[in-house]
Chain A
């Protein structure tokens, strides 16, 4: 195990994601000059928002020491609910009904995990299947069209940059402040680090964890909304495909942090990294399913890099 304890390896594993990103950008720019153009950067940023929203949500929950599998399913449910209710009761009703539904499911996650002490994976697996099932039932499994004039305003461009990208930057900065610059954020990390010590210090761990789940579910809802701004059609199961991407993003954040914790800047880096990788591989003509394989193997490498320094075998519970 001495191999992994030496300083040089420590430094390398800490910086390797950044080095990897630079190498990837250089390689793609050489392989296809279009990659480093202004319009392609717009492409990349345009695809980022909904993954980023989900990744921020999952990161908060993971920083508090819990887990959530339902993020993609709750975003899907948001889309399905808006698409179905907007036709009957108008857009704004759909907007608020979907928010209330997703927050309720977030509360189910929170109560199951925090109050009843059930393993996060089980509870959120349940809400995941319910969310996915409901989205399929509502849309009938058919492809549906997503175009709402109410969302036109935020779907456009501002000085060439997609507005959803600007909004997600604003959102990312606010979440950064909540998690890394407030008392609540400190409590989140206490909850994720040492709950016993936190309780002795008088930190309300229960409330902190419940709040983390609720903020996360709000972000999953925001992810659903931002999905409308970048595509015009939706079929149930589409966002669920990003499940592993989002988990990977949270772990990339953990890998590049010096304290080995999930964090917001790391998550933002991870989202950009994956978006650049997928875009670049696509531009040089790699098939979508090969991109999936590359991402999967990359996840494996990063997760092994993060885990191997744990002295003991990690077990559930």
Chain B
């Protein structure tokens, strides 16, 4: 009986918590359930989820990617500066994608080429990128865009049927990555590498190249996040991505709790982003400052990993019994 209750909590606890949190914020603040605020939450979720999708992908190959935090900033600064200089939209998009690919390739060559621990490698890219963000903006001054071209504005502020365009972009990229991982050969290879890289190599998978591919795709997802954020702010904000990064990591691990896969899942990650985005928005509405938000994030991550390890223990116990 005790086991049944524990199982129920570990399977549905997060959903129950989500419903309770929504009810709590709806009653305690008047502005929580308004159209305007829901659009705000959606904006936050889009950026967080795009970075988180990339992290989830690298989790599948047995690594992690922290560089999304700086890609968001670099991409924003580059995009806004180029648009300001009157560069053709197509070229702007190409340059921005180029930045993402370069950062992805750097991560790939560090991790798959030089055997650097993925956490350390991407932590260093995060830091070097952060310094670069400060260097190109003379110490961290945002680059503002006064005359915003229509196409750029449409991305972050435009709506279709009352739903922000960026939500459609998120769904599009999400579906693309889902298909790539769950319906194509590449995904099976990713999971194989994540489970055991040595056996994967012996069974003929070019592990280093596939591993690198995962990091490049992850960087591209963060590039999209940076583009959306820059369009929403109509400014290139140095270091803007760093807060989103920790949120995204929280979302990914939240995803592993609700999903049957222990190693990254897109649907779970999307739920994680919605959960965290809603919670953080509600806390801000109630007047929580940066400190409380950080505190809440830390507490949520600790709670998550604890329940995660509990779920693992329960599964092991079930295996031992069965």
Contact = CB atoms under 8 A, between A and B. Distances in A.
Taking chain B's interface residues, is the majority helix, strand, or loop, or is none over half, making it mixed?
helix
Interface in B98-132: 110-112, 114-121, 123-124, 127-128, 130-132
A62 B116 CA distance: 16
Contact of B124 (A118, A129, A131, A244): A244
B136 to A, nearest CB: 9
Interface in B191-237: 194, 197-198, 207-208, 211
Interface residues of B, number: 52
Contacts of B119: 121, 316
A112 B297 contact: no
A141 B291 contact: yes
Contacts of B305: 112, 118-119, 122-123, 126
A141 B291 CA distance: 8
Interface in B279-294: 289-294
Nearest to B111: A313
B107 to A, nearest CB: 11
Contacts of A126: 298-299, 301-302, 305
A296 interface: yes
A296 B127 contact: yes
Interface in A130-144: 130-138, 140-141
B124 A300 contact: yes
Interface stretch (A30-38, A44-52, A213-221, A287-295): A287-295
B26 interface: no
Size bracket, chain A contacts: 35 or more
A289 B298 contact: no
B63 interface: yes
A149 interface: no
A244 B127 contact: yes
A168 interface: no
A133 B297 contact: yes
A264 B124 CA distance: 22
7 cross-chain pairs, A with B, having the tightest CB-CB distances, nearest first? A136-B291, A133-B295, A129-B298, A133-B294, A130-B298, A126-B302, A296-B128
